[in-house]
Amino acid sequence: MSYKDAYITGIKKAFEETPYAKWLRQEGVAIHEGFTVEDVRELELAPWLRIGGSAVFITLYAQMESGAGLSIVEIPPGRSLEPERWCCQKILIVEQGVGSTEIWQEGDARKHVFEWGRGSVFAIPTNAWHRMHNLGREPAKFMAMTNAPQVMRGFDSSDFIFNCPHAFRDLYSSDDDRFFIETNDKHSTKGRPGRTTNRWETNFIRDAWGADLQDYQKAYGGRGEGFIMSGNTGGVHEWPVGRYHQAHYHHPGALLHPLHSEGFVMLWPYQLGMRPFESGHGDEVVIEPWKAGGLYSPPGNWFHAHFNTGPVPARHLAFYGGTGFGDVIPQRADDFSAIHESVREGGRQIDYSEEDPVVRRLYKTMLDQKGIPVDMPDFLFERQRP
Ligand SMILES: [Fe+2]
C-alpha cells in the first residue's frame, strides 16, 4: 500500500469515531470527502435545516487530521440565514455575491452590521450571534472554516458548540464599530534578511483576490501577507509566472485556496527525505493539480511545494490552523520562522539549492507543454559553499 493510501485509510478510520463525524451524520448534510476540491463553487449543495440555507461540508483528509471543519453555504437571492452562534473559531471567505452580517453578543440590545462582497474574509468572534443576509440578485456563497471538530472532541459534545450562553466580551463588543473595517495601516515584517515573514493585523479583508501584498521569499519573487483572525493564522500569498515555492513541511491541515492561476502541488512524507526521486521513491510522490477556486491541504509532516503553471501570477489564500492538533506535534519554539529555514540548518524548508534535481526538470517539462518559460535563474539552484 502506498504512503498516500495508508494515510487516507488510517485517517478515515480515526475520523469516523470523532464527535464531529457523528454530528455530521446527525445533521444529515451533504459531504464532499477527498484529498482536494477542484472548485468549491461547483460542489453540489443540499438543504441544511439548522441555518435555513443550502450547504456542503468538506472533509479533506488533512482536515480530518488537523481538526478543522469546512463548509460551503449558499444564501438564495434576497434571503437571510437563521441567526446562529458557534462556540469556536469561525472564519468566512465570500466566494460570490454581496451581503451583510448582523452580529451581536448574548444579551446585547444593539446589533452591529457590516457589508461584504466577493473576496471578503472575516472572522466571527467566538460564540457571537450572527445572521447572514444576501443583498444581491444572485446566490451568495461563502466558505466557512471552524475548529468545531477540535472543540467537539475536547468536550465530547456537539451540543456545547451551539448552546453555550457565555458572551466573550473580552474578544468582541458590538460597540466596537471598527472591528470589521479593513485596517491597512497595521503591517509589519519580522525575520532576518532573505527569510522574512510579513504580518497584517486585521479582522476584515475587503478583497483577498485583489489585496496589496509585500515581498515574501518562500517562492522566488513571491509576495505575501500573514494574518491572525480569531486566533487562526493565515495569509495571502502570490508568486510570479514560471516559478514555484520551496518545499517545506509542518503541522497538518494548512488549508490552501487558490484565487488566481493554476498549477500543481507536489507532496511526499517527511520520511522519504529531501530527495525522494533520487532515492528511488518517486512513485510515492503525490502530484495534485489545482486551479482558481480549488482547495487542498497537505497532511502533517509531508513536504509540499506549490507550482504555478498558469499565465498569470498564482495567488493562494491560506489558513494554517490555530490552537488545534498542530500544536501537539513537536516543533521548535520559534516554529513560525523555522518553516522558512533550511532543513540543513534545523528548519523545515528545502532550499532550491538542496532540492531533488528531478523537481526542477519535471516543472520545466510541464511548462514546456504550455509554452511558458521557467523564470528561475541558475544561481538559485547552486549549492552554497561552506
Ligand atoms: Fe505549507
pLDDT, position 251 = 82
Amino acid found at 50:
R
Residue 95 vs residues 38, 72, 230, 233, 362: alpha-carbon distances, Å? 14, 9, 20, 20, 33
Cβ 208 vs Cβ 121: under 8 Å: yes
Task: Return phi, psi of residue 223, to 5°.
Answer: -135, 150
Residue 384: predicted pLDDT: 63
Q: φ and ψ at 219, to 5 degrees?
A: -110, 150
Q: What is the pLDDT of residue 31?
A: 98
d(Cα 192, Cα 340) in Å, to the nearest integer? Answer: 10
CA of 343 to the centre of ligand 1 (A): 14
Q: Report the distance separating Cα 99 and Cα 94, nearest Å.
A: 9
Q: Separation of 23 CA from ligand 1 center, angstroms?
A: 29
Whole-number Å distance, alpha carbon 281 to ligand 1 midpoint, is 21
Distance 97 CA to ligand 1 centre (A): 29
CA of 130 to the centre of ligand 1 (A): 31
- What length is written for the chain? 386
pLDDT at 195: 62
Pick from 223, 170, 167: nearest CA to 200: 223
Structural domains of the chain ordered from first start: 3-162 (2.60.120.10), 187-373 (2.60.120.10)
Residue 102 alpha carbon to ligand 1 centre in Å: 34
pLDDT score for 240 = 94
User: What is the distance between the alpha carbons of residues 32 and 43, in angstroms, rounded to a whole number?
Assistant: 8
For the entire predicted model, the pTM comes to 0.91
* Interval between CA 284 and ligand 1 midpoint (Å): 19
As a whole number of angstroms, the distance between CA 323 and CA 291 comes to 29
Residue 58 to residue 52: CA distance in whole angstroms = 19
Distance 247 CA to ligand 1 centre (A): 8
Check residue 19 and give its pLDDT: 95
Distances (CA, A) of 168 to 101, 106, 203: 19, 9, 16
Q: Which of 66, 25, 38 is nearest to 291 (CA)?
A: 38
* 300 Cα–ligand 1 center, Å: 10
CB 49 within 8 A of CB 120: no
User: Ligand 1 centroid to 110 CA: how many Å?
Assistant: 41
In a 10 Å sphere around its CB, with 0-12 CB exposed, 13-18 middle and 19+ buried, how is residue 128 labelled? buried
User: In this structure, is the dihedral angle defined by the CA atoms of residues 6, 148, 95 and 142, taken in order, positive or negative?
Assistant: positive
Cα 248 to averaged position of ligand 1 atoms, centre (Å): 6
For ligand 1, the distance from its centroid to the CA atom of residue 304, given in whole angstroms, is: 6
Kindly report, residue by residue over 146-194, the tens digit of the pLDDT. 999 999 999 999 899 999 999 998 888 877 878 888 877 777 777 666 6
Q: How far apart are CA 354 and CA 351, in angstroms?
A: 5
* pLDDT attached to residue 277: 98
Q: Which chain residues have CB less than 5 Å from ligand 1, an ion?
A: 254
pLDDT digits (tens, 9 = 90+) for 45-58: 999 999 999 999 99
CB 23, CB 152: distance < 8 Å: yes
Q: Which residues of the chain have pLDDT under 70?
A: 191-196, 216-219, 230-231, 321-338, 384-386
